A = this chain, B = another copy of it.
Amino acid sequence: MTGHLEPEKETSSRKPRADSLRNREKLLVAARDVFSAGGAEASLEAVARRAGVGIGTLYRHFPTREALFQAVYSREIDQLVELAARLAAEEPPFDALRHWLHAQIRMVATKKGMLAALNPVFDGATEVFAAHQERNRRAVADLMARAVAAGAIRDDIEPADVMRAVIGMCYTRDQPGWQDTVIRLVDVFLDGLRIR
């Protein structure tokens, strides 16, 4: 799985070529920009053009559209995972969970175009994304576990399902201020989750 992410020296004696690494980086940056702006209909050729490399180079580095999405998306997840750890250390359980879900919404807001592009992917090529979803899931799971231990929320709802619910709620046509709406809806949901 990490074969593409971290070139393995053991396979070949040679070290990876400098231009290869450079192009890979250029492609990732270009992809992030293009997907963020253009959304689902963004063309891979546009990504290659923006990166200033040939379409062939793009396909060599990222053999499928999903592989490219995955690589770009990976970094975003990193940030969220880190935030979860920080919140868990700094806030009471329920608040930590709530604030982290709000952060998730804000992240979706920024990367909306890209996430829209990702949606079909979630349905299709699952194995590739499993790891990222899993990391994300574990972040919520930790936060939820703490809240459950503190007797703040019910314990019969799967973390993965909470993620699904929250991300799903972001999939609405965006009128100005939709983030606030979603935050409210998530708060209602959390209210249903809460033990009073």
The distance from the CB of A110 to the nearest CB of chain B, in whole angstroms, is 16
When the two chains form their complex, are residues A161 and B174 in contact, meaning their CB atoms are under 8 A apart? no
Q: Is the pair A172, B181 in contact by a Cβ cutoff of 8 Å?
A: no
A181 partner residues in chain B, CB cutoff 8 A = 158, 161, 164
Docked-complex contact A174 and B123, CB < 8 angstroms: yes
Q: Which of B41, B120, B185, B192 contacts A161 (CB 8 A)?
A: B185
Instruction: Tell me if A165 is interfacial: C-beta within 8 Å of chain B.
Output: yes
Total copies of this chain within the assembly: 2
Roughly how many angstroms separate A164 CA and B161 CA in the complex, as a whole number?
17
Give bound CA distance, A187 to B171, whole Å. Answer: 19
Interface secondary structure of A, over-half rule: helix
Question: What residue in chain B is nearest A41 (Cβ atoms)?
Answer: B120
Mask, A115-130, CB within 8 Å of B = 1, is 0100110110010000
Report A80 CB to chain B, min CB distance, Å. 18
**A71 interface residue, CB < 8 Å from B?**
no
Top 9 nearest A-B pairs (CB, nearest first) are A192-B192, A168-B168, A191-B192, A188-B192, A164-B172, A168-B169, A122-B173, A168-B171, A165-B185
Interface residues, chain A, CB within 8 Å of chain B? 39-41, 116, 119-120, 122-123, 126, 157-158, 161, 164-165, 167-174, 181, 184-185, 187-194
